[in-house]
Chains A and B, each alone.
Chain A
Amino acid sequence: MKKIIIILLLGVFACENSKEAKLIHNLAHITTAKKLDSLLFVLDATLSLEKRYKKTYKSKGIHYNQIPIRELYTYEKEGGYIFYTDSIQPEGKTILKELVEDLGMYKKEVDAYNESDSLYTWKNKYREIELDNYKTNYESITYFFSETYKSPIANASENIKKYTTEPVYYLEVTSNYSKSVLLVNNVNVYETNDSYNKNFSLNKYLLNGNEVIEIAFLIPEKGKNIDELKLDVRLIKKIGKEKIVSKLIKKELLATDKLNEKKIVYTYENEIPYNIKGWAKGEDLSKVKNLERMIENLYKKLGESILKGDEETINKMMYQYEFENLQLKYDDSYEASRDKWVGWLANTLNTYKYTTSKDFKIEISPNKQLGYTYSEDLSNMLIITGKGESKSFDYYFYLPKGSNELKIIR
């Protein structure tokens, strides 16, 4: 039976190139791990599939669209393969030209070590190809098969919207107060008992472009003049590599319900093009009964799903979080969302226990919709542990209207 399969497979490869009897295995057709398996079987039927990987083949029948290949080297199982050619081809044929014809234009990367060398790359969700021709009459091609996943997180990139202008806002703050609180759109961003000089990325607090953004500081002042504040705030709008110092259009000093506290408020016109759900339709958390238990359940559920490798629950709990985090960076690359999912899979593989905080302080943002917790008994709210591996998690959460389960959002 085995022999029959070999003959059949040989037949398939031979038919592809019946004109040129010597060149029978065309690597231009080896585009998936399965096809590579079949080729390796034909080249080396006596070896098991496992052994065929990490092996070099020098069969004279291997070619790339009629360009003979000197050597074919396979990576570990399903990783991919490398092949080389090193002889002058008739009519100036090169694999580079063939690849351009097959796959379209490449991306050229200059070698960081030797600027005269460059790599030609073609990347998509299913494979990555690198061509290196640093020597004359020599081409080395590395062909990797990328792992693809069906989970929503892994494919979040497909739902990311791209815009002609994609601004990212930063706030540069120098505060000389002994303590202060920074709020963006009534969400607690930073609270400290010290003076500081820091940058804050604002996009994660911005849900759409229709808002007038309010940046506020709670500061220990009594009746100071607005121009004498010990505070320096700059808003930076970054579009691509261009940095623009944006105007904070309004500034006012307001009283709060605390005697020794004032609120200084800045506003600016927001030009964010995306529109994400975020916590916009969240319940007033200050009115939620059993919030503490809900928080405990939230982290317990996440810990449990990681421990059990429950991919469905992880996707349900974390998709919106991962999606919005990519959208606010306008990152629609398949690698980014795949990496996010690979990270979660690694968590499930390496974890043999999880620990959740039992003693924590709840902080509800002034908008009442977004909550955050500070663990008092652990370093973080959730810690997952494996042998020599651990990860910690703390999230902003909200309660969708009508739901009795909190949702992780930042």
Chain B
Amino acid sequence: MNYIYTLIILTFLYSCSTSNSRKDNTYISNLDKATEGKSLEEIKKDITETLASFKSVLKIYNNPLFKNEIKDIKEEEYEPIFVKDETLVKESLNQFSSGVVFTQSFDEYQNRINFRFKEDTKKAIKGLPKHIKETKEPFKVYYKEKDIKNDSIANYGVYFGIDNSFGKMNFIDSIKVKHTLKYVATYEEIELSKELPKIKYNGGEIILNNIEKNYVYFTTSDTIKSPIKIQAYNKEGKPLYRKSYSRSGFEESIGKEKMTRFVEFFEKLEEKLNNNKFSSVTDFKEYVKENISALDYFNDEDGYYHRYLYFKGNVDKVKLFFAKERKQKDTIFTAINTTKFSNKIMMPTKDSMLFFNKKLEQILRVKNTEQEQLSETFFEDANYYYHYDFDKKKIDTVLVYYLKAYKNGMVVIQENTIDDDYQLVDSENKKIKNKKYNYLNEVGNNLFGYRDTKAFFISETGTEKYLKNISKIEETNDDDISLVINDDEGSFNEKYGLLNNKGVVITPIIYARIYDFKEGIACVENSKGFYGGINKEGKVVIPFKYNESFRFVNGLALVELESITKVINKKGKTILGINSSENVEVKGEGVDRIFLFKNKKYNAKGNLISE
């Protein structure tokens, strides 16, 4: 429970560095968790350990590496111009439009849901600045048996790429999620410079006390809320990066001072505990609650907040962006379950591993095991591999050197040593005849075996297919489609094609280059240097006539035809620039993309927005 004390300190440090609220007392509520069911003696131990770790953090502040100094910066580093929230909000709300999927598993009789983007399972959620509050709240869960649940589900997490707890064990079909963003719609900008060092604002004042080389020191009345963003600029007006040594980026003075005071506070606590100054745990808690608020850094005696900032460049002026108007926007998306449940669904509990069939009836229970599942019927722990015979309710130890299960369900073994060939075995732990390979290569979801320099595609049933004229196999951004390469004419003249998850070459191995799929279409360069597009069935959907590579965004792609740029849709139809010798220009990115053509503006979807 020691980490709770850490949490108390961190929430304290964090809250004070980002807001000026004196009522932000999350750390106090954590105190109850930290002391729950503990004796004073146990609390004493926790405090001692926490103190030791925070003392070592304090040492970091004293490390010369992290010391700030006022100096002339010769090589400046620039950060992007501050982007207003509206743009970020639009992109964030739009990111789910290409579809969301999830996989479901079970743990301790609870559902575990792992959300992912449909098109790119590795894609992460777009990051947002701290002041934009983002919530993803499920409001309807559709179960396989047509049940719908919409109450007491709001606290289920919708975090991408990790397992979220999602109520009692039951097959879920889909989940409707409300995605909400609370953001700053309009800002008030205050500029400070040597020429303009003092400004009255919101009933208080902002004073620039010092601006020198890479250093800025200013104070704000404690009635003024913190600015959302502080951006410093050099003489040319370029925004400079702030020097910070932690991800939260709070100033050294604040961090060090607070940490020192915390350590002092904890030392005092430790001393009192050592001298038995507390009669009970409640007494201890009362003392902490009363005294921790006294540590609040912002209870400054002079009525001002002081900020000492260092930048990676020489500062000419500083701009403070204050929130003027706050707004909220939301969108709804439905996530679909893509889990292929087998008839042996595993669920760990505290003391056992349970297995269920597709009707969620328990078919096997294995007690006190630390095994991990490798495939439907193969398991391992630190010392052994195991095979489960569910019909006979029997577990066999598999005494082989190496065993590996692949995504397509195939299992291979190396019988005795690392030098042995890889032998395919079926789910019943029987060797599949004549299926030995010198090595195996899993590319995305597809499995390939190599025997005597020949490559084979291995299906999910273990049948093999000889891949003629293929010397190399690589990944695409679709796990079911592999890039197949023929380098018979040398590595400078490689030919590319595509192979699907049935082992079928869907795009012939004749192309000079195949790019990643974007919105279902991959740009392809043919042997004559022209670019076209193919879909995920491998069919050519955009003819080979363009002079440069392209990619689809919001259903449209900017292409170059005989040195003239045009915009086409996914059917290959020219949307902008038909029969014209004038170029289409593009500005911005994503949903904010704007096409400029013949003095007219078109939005990201190609619709005319203004003259």
Contact = CB atoms under 8 A, between A and B. Distances in A.
Contacts of A378: 416
Interface string A337-363: 000000000000000110100000000
B423 to A, nearest CB: 14
A256 to B, nearest CB: 36
A87 interface: no
A286 interface: no
A383 B399 contact: no
Interface string B372-384: 0000000010111
B417 A383 contact: yes
B419 interface: yes
Nearest to A379: B419
B196 interface: no
A383 B399 CA distance: 13
A92 interface: no
Interface string A370-396: 000000001100010111111010000
Contacts of B415: 355, 385
A110 to B, nearest CB: 29
Contacts of A352: 384, 397, 399
B402 interface: yes
Given A352-B399, A353-B399, A387 B383 contact: yes
A386 B380 CA distance: 13
B517 interface: no
B380 A392 contact: no
Contact of A385 (B380, B382, B400): B400
Contacts, number: 33
Nearest to B420: A379
Interface string B60-85: 00000000000000000000000000
A388 B416 contact: no
B564 to A, nearest CB: 61
Interface string B350-384: 00000000000000000000000000000010111
B384 A385 contact: no
A52 B459 CA distance: 54
Contacts of B418: 390
B381 to A, nearest CB: 9
Nearest to A349: B383
Contacts of A389: 401
A112 B418 CA distance: 35
Determine the main DSSP class of B at the interface with A.
Answer: loop
Determine the main DSSP class of A at the interface with B.
Answer: strand
B385 interface: yes
Contacts of A383: 416-417
Contacts of B384: 352, 387
Given A385-B399, A385-B400, A388-B401, A355 B416 contact: yes
Contacts of A386: 383, 401
Task: Give the one of B380, B397, B419 with max A CB within 10 A.
Answer: B419
Task: Give the one of B384, B415, B417, B419 with max A CB within 10 A.
Answer: B417
A385 B419 CA distance: 12
Interface string A146-180: 00000000000000000000000000000000000
Contacts of B383: 386-387
A362 B383 CA distance: 36
B399 A390 contact: no
A392 B401 CA distance: 13
Contact of B402 (A353, A355, A388, A392): A388
Contact of A390 (B380, B382, B397, B401): B401
Interface in A72-110: none
Given A352-B399, A353-B399, A390-B401, A385 B416 contact: yes
A392 B417 contact: yes
Task: Give the one of A352, A353, A388 with max B CB within 10 A.
Answer: A388
Contacts of A353: 399
A390 B402 CA distance: 10
A374 to B, nearest CB: 16
B417 A390 contact: yes
Nearest to B380: A387
Interface in A243-290: none
A387 B385 contact: yes
Nearest to A353: B399
Contacts of A385: 399-401, 415-417
Contacts of B399: 352-353, 385
Contacts of B419: 379
A379 B384 CA distance: 23
Nearest to B382: A387
A392 B417 CA distance: 8
Interface in B382-429: 382-385, 397, 399-402, 415-419
A383 B419 CA distance: 11
Task: Give the one of A353, A355, A390, A392 with max B CB within 10 A.
Answer: A390
A388 B380 CA distance: 12
A390 B416 contact: yes
Contacts of B416: 355, 378, 383, 385, 390
A228 to B, nearest CB: 42
Nearest to A352: B399
A387 B400 CA distance: 7
Nearest to A380: B417
A289 B217 CA distance: 98
A356 B399 CA distance: 15
Contacts of A355: 415-416
A387 B415 CA distance: 10
A353 B397 CA distance: 11
A388 B397 CA distance: 14
B299 to A, nearest CB: 35
Nearest to B385: A387
Contacts of A392: 417
Nearest to B397: A352
B438 to A, nearest CB: 14
A389 B417 CA distance: 8
A355 B382 CA distance: 22
A89 B567 CA distance: 83
A379 B417 contact: yes
Contacts of B417: 379, 383, 385, 390, 392
A72 to B, nearest CB: 16
Nearest to B418: A390
A385 to B, nearest CB: 5
Task: Give the one of B397, B399, B416 with max A CB within 10 A.
Answer: B416
A227 B294 CA distance: 100
Task: Give the one of A385, A389, A392 with max B CB within 10 A.
Answer: A385
A377 to B, nearest CB: 11
Nearest to A378: B416
A390 B419 CA distance: 10
A387 B401 CA distance: 5
A307 B417 CA distance: 16
Nearest to A388: B402
Nearest to A56: B52
B383 to A, nearest CB: 6
Nearest to B398: A387
A379 B418 CA distance: 11
A387 B399 CA distance: 8
B169 to A, nearest CB: 32
Given A385-B399, A392-B417, 6 more contacts: A352-B384, A352-B397, A385-B401, A385-B416, A387-B380, A390-B416
9 contacts: A355-B416, A379-B419, A385-B399, A385-B417, A386-B383, A387-B380, A387-B385, A387-B401, A389-B401
Task: List the 9 closest A-B pairs by CB distance, nearest first.
Answer: A390-B417, A353-B399, A383-B416, A385-B416, A385-B401, A352-B399, A390-B401, A355-B416, A379-B419
Interface of B: 380, 382-385, 397, 399-402, 415-419
